[in-house]
Amino acid sequence: MPTQPSPLRADARRNRERILEAAVRAFSEKGADVPIDTIAKAAGVGSATLYRHFPTREALIEATYRNELARVCDSAAELLADNPPDRAMRLWMDKFIDYLAAKQGMAQALRAAVASGADPFAESLDKLGTAIGSLLHAGAEAGLLRSDVDPIDVGFSLSSVSLATNAPAQRERTGRILDLILDGLRYGTGQ
């Protein structure tokens, strides 16, 4: 019978979080070939500590990607707790676009992980659909957003915006397009 892994001690959890934060910066800025020692040093840990948490480069890349996606998806609940649902949706769209921009920097590292047999994208659509679905549902319940929208369609729309306007100089245009998408999500609600 399989057992659940024991929870990490507080110091081990902090080390893991620092490693993941350093890894996303390193992979985004320097690509897949950044030396593991560089990531460990930036995280303030030794290489052995890094390898205890992530035994391979691919495991580190996969964990980095999933961690960033989880942060964005988890923020939907926080945004809904502090904002009206339509405002929460718009704020979440900005977070998702920022996440996609960081992922563009990690693209080389993600390709290397996939080539080695890892699947960093498993569960991605489910997580995304759940996060966007919660925002849409709250908006529909409040009469602020349409109830007939597929969450994955919204995710693909946002991804398309990111592809078309991924240069930092295009950020203002990106915001205007996100406003148009939000207007489309409001269409027919009387808002």
Domain 58-186's class? mainly alpha
pLDDT band at 105 (very low <50, low <70, confident <90, very high): low
Q: What is the pLDDT of residues 123-173, one digit of tens each?
A: 788 899 999 999 999 999 999 999 999 999 999 999 888 877 777 777 888
CA 140 – CA 123 distance, rounded (Å): 25
pTM given for the model: 0.79
- pLDDT by residue (tens digit) across 45-77? 999 999 999 998 888 988 888 898 899 999 999
3 state SS for 76-116: HHHHHHHCCHHHHHHHHHHHHHHHHHHHHHHHHHHHHHHHC
**pLDDT tens column, 23-37:** 988 988 887 788 999
β strands within 4-138, DSSP E: none
Any idea where the domains of the chain sit in the sequence? 58-186
